[in-house]
Amino acid sequence: MYNDIPSIANCAQTGKLSEPAVRKIIELASHGASNACYLDELWQDLCSGVSRMLAEFHDDEYAYLVVSNPLAACERASAEEFALLEQWLLGTAHKVLAYDLKRATATVAGRIARALRATGCTAIASRTPLLLAMAASAQVIGARFCARRTRVAVDSHGTLYVVQSPRPERSVRNLFTRCEFEVASGLLEGKSYAAIASARAVSVRTIANQAASVFKKLGISGRRELLAYVLRLHNPASNDRDPLASEIVESHAEFAWAGTPRSR
C-alpha cells in the first residue's frame, strides 16, 4: 500500500521529502485511514523519545509533520532543556531565559538546540516547523489542539505517520490585507524577505514594509513573536467551514502515537 511513496525512508537522513513524496503523503492524509489525536500528546511523545520528527511541509491551509515511532534509541534531552525549548518556541528570547536562570546566553542557546535536535528537528531556528511549535504551545498552555494522524509507511526507521492540522495564522487572517497575510504566512514558514519577494515578484523593500505593517498591527517584533501571537489565538475548530476541524472535534479518538489508547 505504501511502496509507491518515493524517498520516504530517506527523509530521516535529509529532513526533506521529494515533491512526489509530499504530493502522495498529502493525498494519503486527505483520503487514507486516520485517527484524530492531540498535539500536546505528540509533544510529550517527542520529548520522551516515543516519537521522532523526520520531516515537515505545508500547503496553504494545513501544516504537516512526518513522525516515526523509532525502532532504535535516539538522542535525548533533559526535562529542563525541553522546558527551555517550550518557552523559546513561545517567544521568550535566549537573553531573557539566560537572565532568569543566571546562565550564559550561549549555554541556554546550546541547551535549546539540543532539545530541538532530540525531537528530530534539524532546522535552523528561523525555520522551526509550525506544527512542532503548535505542539509545544498546546503543552505549555494546556490546550487540547487537535490534529489528524495517518500512517503512511513502515520501514527500517519504524512506523511513519503524517500529522496534519490547520495552519495557526488563519486566526488572524481578517486583521490583514491579502498582501500582508501572504507576508505573515511566509515569515511563519521561515522564509527570508528576499525569498518572499522573489515568490511574489516584488521588491525586498516592499516585503519589509508589509512585514513592518504586520508587526505594528499586532504590537510585536519579529517572526518568533508573530508565531507566539498566532499560537495564543489558535483554535483548530474555530472555523465551522473547515471539514478537517469539524471531523477532528467530532471524532477525537483517544489514541496514543504508538497506536494504543491513553488512559485519563
What does the alpha-carbon distance between residue 233 and residue 29 come to, in Å, rounded to a whole number?
Answer: 25
Question: What does the pLDDT look like over 183-192, one tens digit per residue?
Answer: 999 998 878 8
Structural domain contains residue 183? yes
Q: Is the pTM of this model over 0.85?
A: no
What does the alpha-carbon distance between residue 128 and residue 137 come to, in Å, rounded to a whole number?
Answer: 13
What does the alpha-carbon distance between residue 38 and residue 18 come to, in Å, rounded to a whole number?
Answer: 27
Please tell me the predicted confidence (pLDDT) of residue 248: 45
Structural domain contains residue 229? yes
- Tracing cell 541547551 back to the chain, one arrives at 111
Nearest to 164 by CA among 245, 44, 48, 77: 245
Structural domain contains residue 70? yes
Please tell me the predicted confidence (pLDDT) of residue 17: 63
What does the alpha-carbon distance between residue 179 and residue 58 come to, in Å, rounded to a whole number?
Answer: 19
Structural domain contains residue 259? no
Q: Do 164 and 244 contact (CB within 8 A), yes or no? A: yes
CATH number at residue 179: 1.10.10.10
Structural domain contains residue 108? no
Q: Do 258 and 50 contact (CB within 8 A), yes or no? A: yes
Instruction: Kindly give the parts of the chain with pLDDT less than 70.
Output: 1-19, 29, 32, 71-73, 123-127, 154-157, 235-264
Query: Could you tell me the residue range of the domain that residue 214 belongs to?
Result: 11-74+120-250
DSSP secondary structure letters along the chain: --TTSTTTTTHHHHS---HHHHHHHHHHHHHS-EEEEEHHHHHHHHHHTSSEEEEEEE-SSEEEEEEEEESS------HHHHHHHHHHHTT--HHHHHHHHT--HHHHHHHHHHHHHHTT----GGG--HHHHHHHHHHHHT---EEEEEEEEEETTEEEEEEEEE-GGGGGGGGS-HHHHHHHHHHHTT--HHHHHHHHTS-HHHHHHHHHHHHHHHT--SHHHHHHHHHHH--TTS-TT-HHHHHHHHT---B-TTSSBPP-
Give the rounded distance of the alpha carbon of 86 from its chain centre: 12
Question: What does the pLDDT look like over 156-176, one tens digit per residue?
Answer: 657 788 898 888 888 788 999
Structural domain contains residue 177? yes
Give the rounded distance of the alpha carbon of 65 from its chain centre: 7
Number of structural domains found in the chain: 1
Structural domain contains residue 261? no
Structural domain contains residue 86? no
Please tell me the predicted confidence (pLDDT) of residue 236: 53
